[in-house]
Amino acid sequence: MNTGVVIDIGREALTVALKVASPLLAVALGVGLLISIFQATTQIQEQTLSFVPKIVAILISLILFGPWMLTTLVNYTQRLFLNINNFIK
C-alpha cells in the first residue's frame, strides 16, 4: 500500500461524509435563517424559538434522507471491504 492509495481512501471518505451530512446541514441552515429573520422582524429574542424548530426539522429530514444516507454509507463500506485485498498488496 503506497501513500497514493491512502490519500485516495481518505479523500473518498471525506467526500462520502460531506455528501451524507450536507442535507441535514442545509436543512438546519435554512431553518436557522428563517427563524433568525422571524426573530429580527418581530423582535422576539427567545432562545427556544430557534432551538426547537431546528430539532424538529432535523428529525424530519433524518426520516426523509435517512435511507439514502444509510445506503450511501453501506455502499462505501462494502466497496472498502471488497477492495481491502488490493489495498494490502
pLDDT in tens, 25-65: 999 999 999 999 999 999 888 877 888 999 999 999 999 99
Q: What predicted TM-score, i.e. pTM, was given to this entire model?
A: 0.81
For the stretch 62-84, pLDDT in tens is: 999 999 999 999 999 999 999 88
How does DSSP classify residue 6?
H
- Please give the full DSSP string across 7-39, using - where no structure is assigned: HHHHHHHHHHHHHHHHHHHHHHHHHHHHHHHHH
